[in-house]
Structure 1
Amino acid sequence: MNFSISGLQFGAGMLLLSAFIIGIILFLKHRISSTSISKKGSNHLTKKYAEADVFKSSGTFWRVGLVSAVFVAILAFSWTTYERDIFIPDYNLSFDELEIQTPPTVQREKKLPPPPPPPPVIEVTDEPTEEPPIFTDQTVTNQVSNQVAKPTTKKTPLVKKTLPIVPKSKEPNIEELHYIVEEMPLFPGCEGIGNYETEKACADKKMLEFIYKNIKYPTIARENNVEGTAVISFVVEKDGSITNATIIRDPGAGCGAESLRVVELMNKLPQRWIPGQQGNQNVRVQFNLPVRFRLDK
């Protein structure tokens, strides 16, 4: 037989047992003290009377003590303490996206370097360049010589200036992250039971059962009466795995860390999530899961 009692019931049982034992003691004391010795003689002090023999009730005392010990043991083993439940409201099934305000991103204008100066234009001409004539001093040679140098033609080669080739940077292939798609990801365990709406209702129920089974109210939060809602953000990848699990709201005292631990346990399930679909293709979808911690008062 399996039954449980509360602390109040345990205390009441102990009081009843104490009253029962005290009653037996008083009854036996009164019975022994009221026993009268009808015969008096010279040897009445050394004679042992059956009415005043306290050892004849030793068997009764032993049985009462045994019954009392068994009764106390049963009460002790049946004393049950109940932990306070963790309440997850039904509105969590909608998985509404929480609006978290972030400061606007200030885009700094990139200063472009000044354009390089245009290459110098060098023109090649075929016209001869005449050099001035060279004259000699008449006082030295006493001869007048008008020596005129023959015109010479010089061609200047055209210099081509080439600019360095800057390689194009390859942008990383980052897949788009979705928040609302045609078919949202589903918790595993309800595949093929019907249409999408039926599978979604079943998957939400399975996920709540998983959270109830694995989550524990933190001891520090229970002792300090900490309540609140922890929100965990995570991404369901195209293969159904859970990544980027982070705490975006934490009431404190370990509630956020406990919720994050349970979400990360989903990757250890035998089956992965059913990924979300957009246009008959698997896509990455971000989830915000609120878990409310509430103490029963």
Structure 2
Amino acid sequence: MKQMKPLKESNLSFAMGMIVAISALLVAFEWSSNRQAPRIYSSEVFVPEELDIDLTRRTPEPPKPRIEPPEVVVPDEIVAVDGPVEHQQIFTTEDQPEPQRVVPAAPVPRSIEEPEESPLEFAEVSPGFVGGQAALMKFLNENMRYPQVDIEMGNEGRVICTFVVEKNGSITDIQVVRGVSPGIDKEAVRVISEMPDWKPGFQNGRAVRVKFTLPVYFKITR
């Protein structure tokens, strides 16, 4: 019996130690749980309600017009004057002379130019060289200059020219209808342009423009 007593005491001490240790562990766990409890955060965003703002602009009332009392005009003192009273002369429109009306001058009528008559191909009275055909041939032979280049090249032939005999007999609008060479054609036009005035043509008793054809011969004498 004496040998079993130390064993019971040791078991009792162990059991008491275990109880104290478990109690301390529970207290520590409970304190830790209360201290480190997880926090829960909300993800909702608080949006305040829209404010109903009155944006109507109030127009200020116009200021009331200030009514000023009418000014009292005190007439000048009337002074009696002995003798006649001079009257001021009043001018009316009857005293002024009437303004003179300026009549614009009548426009000067422009002279209407008669359109130029086209030359006739034939007339009752044909135009002609003064002195006749013989005088015309003499004038051409005396005034014609045969170009030296055409003489050396042997160019010869008949140049047909046309021109207009005007109403006053002058020669205008000289043209070469058929030519021989540039030099010969130019010489024919030059001689015709130097001719004196012709006798004009007549149609129904009045002078008219007439177109005339004149052949000019160029021939080398060997």
User: TM-score band, normalised by the shorter chain?
Assistant: 0.3 to 0.5
Q: State TM-score, norm by structure 2.
A: 0.47
Q: State TM-score, norm by structure 1.
A: 0.36
- CA radius of gyration, larger in: 2
